[in-house]
Structure 1
Amino acid sequence: MSGLGEGIGAAIEGGLLARAVEPRAGEIGSHSPASSVTCANCGTSYHGHFCPECGQKAHIHRSLAAIGHDIMHGVLHLDGKLWETLPLLTFKPGELTRRYITGERAKFVSPMAMFLFTVFAMFAVFQMVGIGAPTDLANDLFGSDDDNPVQTEVRSQMEALEKERATLPAKSPRRAQIDSELKGLNLVFAKAGSPGDETDKVVTFNTGNSWLDHKLLEKWKNNPGLMLYKLQANGYKFSWLLIPLSVPFLWAMFLWRRQFKAYDHAVFVTYSLSFMSLLFIVMSILSTIPDGGGWSAMLFFVAAPLHLYKQLRQAYGLSRFSAFWRFCVLIFCMQIVVLLFLIVLGLLGAF
């Protein structure tokens, strides 16, 4: 039940953030005033659904049913713009991207509002169906700090070598010798920690950077469950970082086509990520039914690349060949983006 509660809370948080990013601009109410209306908020007389001065609705409700409507409308973002946006985002993503860029803004949910809502909804569904990083890992998963006398001696030698290495210039031949010695000492350290059992060897991790070793690797070693929890928590809090990480790669693929600006690429990336969040929601729900894992995997390997290719071709007006080679390059760039994103999350988890 705690997962269900956290999931509902995450969905509501996403809806509120989406509504904060995109207020009720462009939404049309069901009540059409036939005569002149005086705004109860600022006193302006006008004809229409909204006050032209302050934006308040012409129809002022005073019913419990309307309160329930406001909750659904404001928190879950269920308005006319969502139903205009979702079909295009799913089946004609390039058309949605192009139309939004060229100025059709009021009838569609903005890319950032859509992204915020779908990402938080995705993590909410993950919580509900029990998908998450394990947090009950043993603290000695990467080795224990309780050294025997041999390990203590080896560890002191390794620390001395690392300090010496840090003082040497980058091109010093002595650095290569020290690296070789450290590898040998790592093996000795492992054998000393688990004599007679080759399966329980402990290998220490050293980057050569004392700050990283202390701040990051040691924390992963001492409490991997907590670090995985931080990685998961930061994953949705900083998911927006995927947008600025992705835009430069897309911009480079259209470098010689000056009609496409960085803003266009940002809209493309944000709508694409929104669809992927929706896809992961469907996949996670499918995985809960018997034999649903296979259907979930098949859906991903068919829908994800097809959607990306269609969005590329339609949004930028590309030929089949031009869209295909960019699609292949983009698939490779996406792996780099994911790696960079995980590195950033790892560094954030160190604090």
Structure 2
Amino acid sequence: MGEFDAAGEVVSGALWGRAVERRHGEGHGDGEHGGICLNCGTRLLGPHCHRCGQAGHVHRTIGAIGHEILHGVVHFEGKLWNTLPLLFFRPGELTRRYIHGERARFVSPMAMFLFSVFTMFAVLQIMGISPPAEVGTAAQFEQGLTFARRNTESAIADAKESRARAEPGSERAKKLDKRIAGLERDLDELEKVPLSLSRASGKGLDFKTGWKRLDKGIEKANHNPGLALYKLQTNSYKFSWALIPLSIPFVWLLFFWKRKFKGYDHAVFVTYSLSFMSLLGILLTIGGGLGVTSDIIAPLALLIPPLHIYFQMKGAYRLRGWSALLRTFVLLNMITFIVVIFALLLLGLGLLG
């Protein structure tokens, strides 16, 4: 069912994106000239009401639901072919053109962000990188870890017994040697995992702040760390939009003395940039699932984001190379604070929610 859920996430992302997407410059063939608008009663002068914007012809069939879904997704995706190439290869130009009023050709920043975030979490779900459907208590975690250790120890004993019966130097003996070595490494890793979070840190999260609601959340997290992790992961999905308002002030600091750059400009820059980072995460995740090694994925994950920020900033604000490079360096350091603030926000929501 994970694949169906993931497909639903992609469609939801497109529809949410479409919901915030403006329709400037888009033509629609449905509707009739003349008549009365069924929404506000204004006489129609074209296929759409010039007062409230509703289409002159409305569907009233069971198939209209499917039509609305396809209409929203297809019309939204039609702009992707204009937006994605620029977002990936000429982000500064895309940002500048959108800020200066070229809106109908491209997917708006917020719609692009919603679509990319929904798609990213759908891909993570398909790849099996998602919050667990079921979470257990600390006691269940301890039982599972103990069982895993004993099971691995039993497997090592069986493998050694088979190895003793195998002919020395045979292919079977070599395979058993590799299996024993792998199982012993697994057991070493399992031995490093503490039986509970409270044992790992001595007192765990057993402290009081004086705020009853927060203390209650800390007590729950200490009793059921699995549930606390689940909340943290799901909140990162639900509140990913918070990265936009958190990032805008830091970008504004890079240009606060230049009055020609407005807060709206920085918002477009940040939102398109975050959209690209989500899409990059999708591509790298899919690449890893297809067998691309971490030796390739890790350098790409480290190099591409700074380069993209540099070229987007250079093109969007029409900066010289050295000026864009300096601002990119400062912004990369600011991102550390943004991530910390976002993480604290998620932690607080998890404990208080």
What is the CA–CA distance in structure 2 between the aligned matches of 1:93 and 1:279, rounded to whole Å? Answer: 13
Corresponding residue number in structure 1 for 2:15: 16
Name the Cα RMSD after superposition: 3.3
Corresponding residue number in structure 2 for 1:120: 118
Corresponding residue number in structure 2 for 1:177: none
Is 1:26 the counterpart of 2:25? The answer is: yes
* Structure 1 runs (4+) greater than 6 angstroms displaced: 58-67
1:80 CA displacement = 3.1
Corresponding residue number in structure 2 for 1:92: 90
What is the CA–CA distance in structure 1 between the aligned matches of 2:30 and 2:15, rounded to whole Å? Answer: 27
> Is the 8 Å Cα contact of residues 12 and 76 (structure 1) preserved in structure 2?
no
Corresponding residue number in structure 1 for 2:236: 235
* AA at the equivalent of 1:37: H
Describe the superposition over 1:85-121 as per-residue Cα deviations: whole angstroms up to 9, x where unpaired. Answer: 2221111111111111111222222111111111111
1:131 CA displacement = 0.9
1:226 CA displacement = 0.6
Corresponding residue number in structure 1 for 2:222: 221
- Alignment partner of 1:330: what SS? helix
Q: Which runs of 5+ in 2 are unaligned?
A: 143-193
Which segment is superposed worse, 19-28 or 113-122?
Answer: 19-28
Is 1:330 the counterpart of 2:331? The answer is: yes
1:60 CA displacement = 7.3
> Is the 8 Å Cα contact of residues 14 and 120 (structure 1) preserved in structure 2?
yes
> Is the 8 Å Cα contact of residues 27 and 80 (structure 1) preserved in structure 2?
no
Describe the superposition over 1:51-72 as per-residue Cα deviations: whole angstroms up to 9, x where unpaired. Answer: 5344345787899998756423
What is the CA–CA distance in structure 2 between the aligned matches of 1:278 and 1:201, rounded to whole Å? Answer: 37
* AA at the equivalent of 1:20: A
Corresponding residue number in structure 2 for 1:37: 33
> Is the 8 Å Cα contact of residues 216 and 347 (structure 1) preserved in structure 2?
no
* AA at the equivalent of 2:284: M
Corresponding residue number in structure 2 for 1:272: 273
1:125 CA displacement = 1.1
Corresponding residue number in structure 1 for 2:298: 297
- Is the alpha carbon distance of 1:316 and 1:64 closer, same or farther for their aligned partners in structure 2, counting shifts above 3 Å? same
TM-score with structure 1 length normalisation? 0.72
Corresponding residue number in structure 1 for 2:168: none
- Alignment partner of 1:287: what SS? helix
What is the CA–CA distance in structure 2 between the aligned matches of 1:27 and 1:236, rounded to whole Å? Answer: 31
What is the CA–CA distance in structure 2 between the aligned matches of 1:142 and 1:128, rounded to whole Å? Answer: 25
> Is the 8 Å Cα contact of residues 30 and 55 (structure 2) preserved in structure 1?
no
> Is the 8 Å Cα contact of residues 23 and 104 (structure 2) preserved in structure 1?
no
- Is the alpha carbon distance of 1:32 and 1:139 closer, same or farther for their aligned partners in structure 2, counting shifts above 3 Å? closer
Map 1:130-279 to 2 at 5 A: 130-133=128-131, 136=135, 139=138, 202-205=201-204, 209-211=209-211, 214-279=215-280
- Is the alpha carbon distance of 1:94 and 1:215 closer, same or farther for their aligned partners in structure 2, counting shifts above 3 Å? farther
- Is the alpha carbon distance of 1:63 and 1:299 closer, same or farther for their aligned partners in structure 2, counting shifts above 3 Å? farther
What is the CA–CA distance in structure 2 between the aligned matches of 1:59 and 1:322, rounded to whole Å? Answer: 53
- Alignment partner of 1:228: what SS? helix
Identity across aligned pairs (percent)?
A: 49
* AA at the equivalent of 1:315: A
What is the CA–CA distance in structure 1 between the aligned matches of 2:200 and 2:217, rounded to whole Å? Answer: 22
Describe the superposition over 1:201-245 as per-residue Cα deviations: whole angstroms up to 9, x where unpaired. Answer: 651246773439724543332111111111111111111110111
What is the CA–CA distance in structure 2 between the aligned matches of 1:138 and 1:282, rounded to whole Å? Answer: 35
1:8 CA displacement = 2.4
Corresponding residue number in structure 1 for 2:80: 82
Describe the superposition over 1:189-211 as per-residue Cα deviations: whole angstroms up to 9, x where unpaired. Answer: xxxxx9xxxxx665124677343
> Is the 8 Å Cα contact of residues 17 and 76 (structure 2) preserved in structure 1?
no
What is the CA–CA distance in structure 1 between the aligned matches of 2:141 and 2:326, rounded to whole Å? Answer: 42
What is the CA–CA distance in structure 2 between the aligned matches of 1:201 and 1:91, rounded to whole Å? Answer: 47
What is the CA–CA distance in structure 2 between the aligned matches of 1:123 and 1:225, rounded to whole Å? Answer: 20
What is the CA–CA distance in structure 1 between the aligned matches of 2:204 and 2:64, rounded to whole Å? Answer: 60
What is the CA–CA distance in structure 1 between the aligned matches of 2:341 and 2:233, rounded to whole Å? Answer: 15
- Alignment partner of 1:331: what SS? helix
1:304 CA displacement = 1.4
- Alignment partner of 1:255: what SS? coil
